[in-house]
Amino acid sequence: MKMRPGTQTGFLLCGKEWIEGEALEVRSPWDQGLVGRVTVASRADARQAVSHAVASLRRTRALPRWKRREILEDVAGTLIEQKERFAQLIVAEAGKPVRLARTEVDRAVLTFKTAAEEVARLGGETIPLDLVEGNEGRWGLVQRFPVGPVLAITPFNFPLNLVAHKVAPALAAGCPFLLKPAPQTPFTALALGEVILKAGWPQEALAVLPLSNTDTAWLAEKEDRIKLVSFTGSAKVGWDLKVHSGRKRVLLELGGNAAMVVHGDWPDLDDAALRTAHAAFGYAGQSCISVQRVFVERGVFQTFLWKVVEYTAKLVTGDPCEDATDVGPLIRLSEAERVDAWVKEAVEGGARLVAGGERRGSLLPPVILTGTKPGMKVRDDEVLGPVICIEPYDDFEEALAEVNHSRYGLQAGLLTRDAGRILTAFRELEVGGLIVGDTPSWRLEPMPYGGVKDSGLGREGIRSAIEEMTEPRMLVMAGLS
């Protein structure tokens, strides 16, 4: 079943009402067909949503663990039942190839199931306090409590699972939340909000707010009743949010230009090249851990390069609704134009275009470059498009230095069978996660995920996010022995 343009109508989900107002048109990245119209929230709507969230905190904090777990499991079950519905929403508004959209739904199911399991592990600890004479009978109890209302700001590229990575921990922790989805992809978030409410989450403890970026920044800065801001998006916007968020806790997942190192001792270059092609070009490279830079030991460089070219040529570029499609359109025409301009700039600067065709609207066929240099945007900045730079190296330490030659540090990949090199890379690479034996694009929901440098602040794995959304309180008991 394909999504038909114009069939979706969205309203602002705020507190206890569906509210109608000024509408924003959402169009397909593939053919610009109308997906639907969504109500734009005002600052007054946002204030009202915060008031509802604050009023609901006592109720969400009192929800027993079995109930929170039940809600999370119910959401996971509904996503399984409605897998095709959510996949088609993702295809329609994000332009993600349908096979990848179905995989995203599967991952969101795992996200909610993992959060349900973590609810049972939300324990505390007892601390002996009779360690100094005169304190006989004293002991302490530490327990975690929800931090309060959470503002979750999500990007377009994973409109279901990156939303789930914020709201599932909030449900587990007992935090009311306000969700601001990307303007390109509001319908998936609204549909998930309905599922969460039907699962039994208090209505006033949830708001899906299609706010403008300006009003979102205003909300983060001015509304002190929000206790935590969790943002996934560009580095510039994220760090600006942190500067203006005052005393709120801030979690930032800000992207990168993921690198991998392929050493000559890796036994299966065919498999490595196949994985690299899919990790670089799946969903047109629109992932913060999409492979962008690859450093290959010179002895196997040519072999690896041409194997990547071979496997890239087999990828299907085109209509995201088709099951065979691997590479769909970029989210906006302006993004495709930007990436195309960066590639042309690199070629004019001396880089060699090994593979890549002419851009057709928002569709940019996969680009493979070599001979790139530091200072080129395709190498230094986050492309967030279907572009990969593959370069040779002679010395392993030199390759690690090239990986670190970046203002980003989210994840890196390493293909070597040498334990010493693995440990050296783990010690030296300035990244939040090192993936050995695979590309840096590999991620699973339970892992503590996040980066260093301009790639962010804090960690967004399910358990880590729950800890961030709770605060420890100490109870000291005396004179009761």
Q: Is 389 a catalytic site residue?
A: no
| Active-site position among 175, 288, 321, 389 | 288
Q: Which two tokens stand for residue 231?
A: 């943002």
Q: Is 288 a catalytic site residue?
A: yes
**Rounded to an integer, what distance in angstroms lies between the CA atom of residue 393 and that of residue 374?**
14
Q: Which two tokens stand for residue 74?
A: 């119910």
Where residue 224 falls (left for φ over 0; alpha for ψ -120 to 50; beta otherwise) is alpha
**Rounded to an integer, what distance in angstroms lies between the CA atom of residue 120 and that of residue 117?**
6
| Active-site position among 93, 118, 204, 253 | 253
Residues recognised as catalytic: 253, 288
